[in-house]
Amino acid sequence: EGATGATLGGNVMSPKHVEVWLRPPPRCDLLAERVHLLVDVQVMSYRQAAKILQAEGNKVNSGTACCILRRYCEIHGLQRPDRP
């Protein structure tokens, strides 16, 4: 509990100032939910999902759609099933 001023090994620790920088999430994290909906829920191929994402203004191809879906699984702690 060093940040509350509790002792640690006989020494009193004082609270420290912590600075946090917030930034927008990476593009693949922003698209992860959308790719999941297209590929897993609507049962589209990566190529079909990429075409829809491209029409929505995203620079995505089927390979990046696959990587984004892997990222979705990583974010949610899921194991990605093998898919051709």
pLDDT at 2 over 50: no
Token pair listed for 7: 């002792």
Which one, of 41, 42, 35, 25, lies nearest residue 66 by Cα?
35
pTM of the shown model: 0.70
Please write the tens of the pLDDT for every residue from 6-51. Answer: 555 666 667 788 888 799 999 999 999 999 999 999 999 999 999 9
